[in-house]
Chains A and B, each alone.
Chain A
Amino acid sequence: GEQVEQLPSILRVQEGSSASINCTYENSASNYFPWYKQEPGENPKLIIDIRSNMERKQTQGLIVLLDKKAKRFSLHITDTQPGDSAMYFCAAVMSNYNVLYFGSGTKLTVEP
C-alpha cells in the first residue's frame, strides 16, 4: 500500500494571503497525486492533480508542486477567499493501481 502524511491539520489565514499544505508519501511507485476539496456538509471533489512526469501545475489560483526525490508534494492557494474555507485532502496513487490513499486532511479557514 501507501502511506500519505499531510500537514498541517489546521490552517488559518487572512483573506488575500496564500495557504500551503504539504504531503509526503512512502512508495516510489506512486505516480499520480490528486487534491480533493470538501466543503462543509458536502462530499470531496477533485480540484487539481499532478502526475509524476511533472514538477509543477497551476490552475485558477491553485499551484501544485511535486518533488519526487523527496517524495513530497504540496498545494498552494494564492489570494485566498472565504470560499476557499474547507477540508483539503491530498492523495497518492501507485502505478497500475486504481486505489487512492488519502492524507488525514487539512481544515483551512480563511478569515475576512
Chain B
Amino acid sequence: EAAVTQSPRNKVTVTGGNVTLSCRQTNSHNYMYWYRQDTGHGLRLIHYSYGAGNLQIGDVPDGYKATRTTQEDFFLLLELASPSQTSLYFCASSDSGSSQNTLYFGAGTRLSVL
C-alpha cells in the first residue's frame, strides 16, 4: 500500500499565525492533494499538483498556498491563519496512470487556530 506521511499530526496556533503542513509520499505518484475535512462538508479539495513545481487550485483555496518542491513533497501553507481554518487536513496521492485513480491518504493533521 502507498505510504503517505503527514507532519505534524497535531498543531495549535493563534489567529494570524504562520503554519506549514508537510506531506511526503514514497510511491512515485504524480498527483498529490490537500483536502480538509469538516463535519457536514465531507472532504473538500484545497490544492493539488501533478508534479514537482506544478500547482492547481481546488474548490476551497482561499487563505491557503501550496508548493510541490519534489515528486515526494507537497506543502500546505497558511500564512495568516484564521479560526475558520480549524480543521482536519488530509494529504493524498495517486498514480496518474492508474485507471482507478485510487487516492492514498495520509494519517491527517489536526489544526486548531485559536
Name A's B-contacting residues (CB within 8 A). 1, 6, 9, 32, 34, 36, 42-46, 49, 89, 93, 98-105
Contacts and interface: CB of A to CB of B under 8 A. Distances in A.
B40 A34 contact: no
B89 to A, nearest CB: 11
B43 A98 contact: no
Q: Which 5 A-B pairs have the closest CB atoms?
A: A43-B105, A104-B42, A102-B43, A105-B42, A102-B42
A100 B42 contact: no
A103 B37 CA distance: 11
B30 to A, nearest CB: 8
8 contacts: A43-B90, A44-B43, A44-B103, A45-B105, A98-B50, A98-B94, A101-B59, A102-B35
Given A43-B107, A98-B96, A98-B101, 14 more contacts: A32-B100, A34-B100, A46-B102, A98-B31, A99-B58, A100-B45, A102-B42, A102-B43, A102-B44, A103-B42, A104-B40, A104-B42, A105-B42, A105-B43
B48 interface: yes
B26 to A, nearest CB: 16
Interface size class of B (residues with CB under 8 A): 20 to 34
Given A1-B59, A43-B106, A44-B90, A100 B40 contact: no
A103 B44 CA distance: 9
Contacts of B31: 98
Interface in B66-113: 90, 94, 96, 100-103, 105-108
Nearest to A104: B42
B90 A89 contact: no
Contacts of A89: 42-43
